[in-house]
Structure formats: structure tokens, C-alpha cells
Amino acid sequence: MLVTNKKTMENNNKETVVLTMDGGGTNLVFAAVADEYRIIDRFKISIAKKRHNLNAILKSIISGFARLMEGLESKPAAISLGFPGPIDAKKGIVGDLDNLPAFRGGVAMTDMLEEYFHLPVFLNNDGDLFAMGEAIEGFLPFLNNELSKKGVSKRYNNLIGVTFGTGFGGGLISGQKILQGDNSASGEINRFRNKLYPESSVEESVSSRGLQRVYARESGVEKKDIPHSHEIYRIAVGKKVGNTLAALKAFEELAIVAGDAIANAISLIDAPVVIGGGISAAHRLFLPRLVQEINSKFKQQDGKKLPRTEVKAFNLEEESSFEEFLQREEKELDVPFSQITIKYNEKKKVGIGISKLGTDKAVFAGAYYIARQNLS
């Protein structure tokens, strides 16, 4: 498992250390990661007031990596960092970020950092890195280990990673490789159509601002009095005074829209789904309804019902649902024109659960793995 070592950093010659960063519109989170995905240093730098100042942001990025290097006894192997889309992973360019207006027109991030630090630099989408971290060190190993303990031969090799937070991010992993697409634009689940508001994207509902907008609409509060998303959660569970019904409605809309988008993704990728991001901590308010949406049915023109997806989704945060997911009911199937039989499980299942590492740690693990993969 990914662990944090808060002691004085020790970087011997046998250990490979990669400097990593998870970039966002509010904070840049840095970490030095060593063998076995150990975090040996971690800190954040706020850029909330620099969003329109490109030079200030770039200097913050450089100073963050320089600070990580100061604590090492020898040179790190590489730098590996993530930003929200759009990016060009192959050329190392960060594109027009909605939450960082200063990046308009593109920034040659990889070349800048390689020129400054004289190290190999690898840039990827942060959603891809989150999904990769959970695929190699978090959710996917956990899932397969639980199946193994039950004596089930089935193993999952693909993963859909999504994050609920300031925005709605995503990443796709197939066989421990990022499914990047030809334009480094795959996994951009935030661009799916919003089921409840078809003129909008899903991110308008699956985000902090989405929760705030629905709460304000349902409660009638003034714009200046709209609570933050984490406060809406506390209102919903009765830990803070406010309009409980409005808070619950906000999470219900998020669940419906996210569930519809994830159902589309599952239909294309056929993989389990891991959810991260700040809002994921409130999963008990949205996950049951989200899974229900995935398992809903279409109404066909002849009046018959068609399952929303070819597979059945299970809420792995609910004990009885998890137990049902782990059960594999195989039957013997005769091979035509022979005396042979084979085992067949006609029930197709995917699990939906919450990050096992935490979003930042998953990003760091993914960034480290990608760097080691490229270096070798």
C-alpha cells in the first residue's frame, strides 16, 4: 500500500525517486515518491490568486520541484506531473484549462521543466494518473484480492476512474496502460450530455458548483449565502443547520447525472469504476442512487424494457451488495457434438466503489508508475 514517511528523507543509490505534482486551479500538490510508492515528502502551494498570471504559476511549479529536490541526497530519476485536460501528453503541452485562464494558447510544460532541471519529464492528464494509481496499487488489486479469497478465478484488468470535485474528471486503464486516444483526449467524461439538462454537460451537475446551484434553487437562498459543497453534505446528514431537503436533492441530481454518464462509459469500456475527488467522501448520499441509475432500463418502442447496460453494477461500499458481487454462479455448458462440458458464467458484473488510496496518493502512484515505465 502507499504510505507516507514523515522522517528525514533517505535516498540511497538503490532507490528510484520521482518528483510528482497534481496540478489544479486552486493548489499545486507536490510529492517525492520512492520505491514501493512511498511518499517521502509532500506539500501544496496555493495558486488561487495567480490564476491569470502565467509567469507566477510557472515559477510556483519550478519552486515546488526545487523544494522537493533540496531534501534529496542524490538526483531524482524523473519528474512526472498531471493537469486536467486538455493536454498533449506526447508533446508535453498543457492546453486551455478552464480553471487556469493563464494557460490559454498552450504551455510547453515538459520542455520547460526538462530545460530547467535536466531531468526526464512526463506529463499526463490527472484523471488518467488517478485511474492508473488505483489500477496498480489501490482499487483494482483490492478487488482482485477479494475475488481470490473467495476462490473465484475471475480477474479484472480494466478500470474506469472518475473524480467528483471542482469538476468531473475521468481516466481509462486497460491492462495497466492509459487509454489516451489519438489526441490525448480519451476519458473526458465531463463532456457527456447531461441527462437532466440536455443543453449542458454532465459537469454542470457533477461538481461542487452543481451541488451549490441545486441547493440554492431548492432552498431559495441568496447567491452570497450559498454554502460550500462540504457544508451541503453536513446539512444533508443533519450536522449543520440548513435546508435538508434541498441538500438531499442536490446529491440526488448529482447521482442521476453521474450514473447516466458512467453507464455510457461502462457500455464502451466494460470495466469496474472507482470514484475519487473531494465529493466522494459523501458517497453514502449519492452512490446507491448512482448505481440504481446504471442498472435502470430503457423503454423500447414496442413497450419492452432493455437493461441500461449489458452488465450489472454493484455498490461495493454496501456490504450485502459487495458479497453478491463476489459470488460467481457458474454452470456446466455442453460443447455441441462432443462429450465435453465447460464452465460458463452468464452473469456479467462490474463493481462501483470509492478510492482505496485517496485521490492525491493515487495520482502520485500513477505518476510514479508512468515515469518508471517510461524510464525502463
Domain boundary among 75, 103, 126: 126
Note the pLDDT of residue 10: 43
Say which residue the cell 475471475 belongs to.
154
Which of the listed residues 75, 100, 126 is the one where a domain comes to its end? 126
Asked whether residue 118 falls in the same domain as residue 164, the answer is no
Q: Which domain holds residue 122?
A: 18-126
Q: Based on the fold, state whether residues 102 and 161 are members of the same structural domain.
A: no
Using CB atoms within 10 Å of the CB of residue 309, give its burial: 0 to 12 exposed, 13 to 18 middle, 19+ buried: buried
Question: Is 279 part of any domain?
Answer: yes
Q: For helices 244-269 and 283-294, what crossing angle results, to 10°?
A: 40
> What is the average per-residue pLDDT within 6-10?
41
Whether residues 235 and 302 share a domain: the answer is yes
192 plus 341 within the same structural domain: yes
pLDDT in tens, 51-83: 889 999 999 999 999 999 998 988 999 999 999
Residue 283 and residue 178 share a domain: yes
> Which DSSP symbol is given to 298?
E
pLDDT of 218 reads 97
Q: Residue 370 falls within a domain, yes or no?
A: no
One domain, residues 219 and 73: no
Q: CA 338, CA 361: separation in Å to the nearest integer?
A: 53
- Are 68 and 149 in a shared domain? no
Domain total of the chain? 2
Q: What is the mean pLDDT of the chain?
A: 93
Cβ 305 vs Cβ 316: under 8 Å: no
Residues in CB range of 70: below 8 A, 6 or more apart: none
Same domain, 81 and 120: yes
Quick check: 6 pLDDT over 60? no
Same domain, 275 and 178: yes
- Asked if the structure places residue 364 within a domain, the reply is no
Q: What is the pLDDT of residues 9-48, one digit of tens each?
A: 444 456 899 999 999 878 999 999 999 999 999 999 999 8
Per-residue pLDDT tens digits for 242-278: 999 999 999 999 999 999 999 999 999 999 999 999 9
Domain boundary among 126, 147, 173: 126
Q: What is the pLDDT of residue 11?
A: 44
What CATH number is given to the structural domain containing 351?
A: 3.30.420.40
Residues 235, 350: one domain? Answer: yes
C-alpha cell at 342: 465447460
Q: How many residues are there in the chain?
A: 376
CB 172 within 8 A of CB 180: no
Residues 78-105 pLDDT 10s: 999 999 878 999 999 999 887 788 888 9
Please tell me whether residues 117 and 175 are part of one structural domain.
Answer: no
What CA–CA distances, in Å, run from 231 to 52, 237, 277, 353?
A: 28, 10, 16, 23
> How far is CA 131 from each of CA 144, 152, 176, 213, 353, rounded to the nearest angstrom?
16, 24, 10, 28, 13
Q: At what angle do helices 126-137 and 139-149 cross, to 10 degrees?
A: 30
Q: How confident is the model at residue 2 (pLDDT cuts 50, 70, 90)?
A: low
Q: Is the pLDDT at 3 greater than 90, yes or no? A: no
Mean pLDDT of 313-335: 94
Residues 255 and 225 in one domain: yes
Flag whether 187 is in a domain: yes
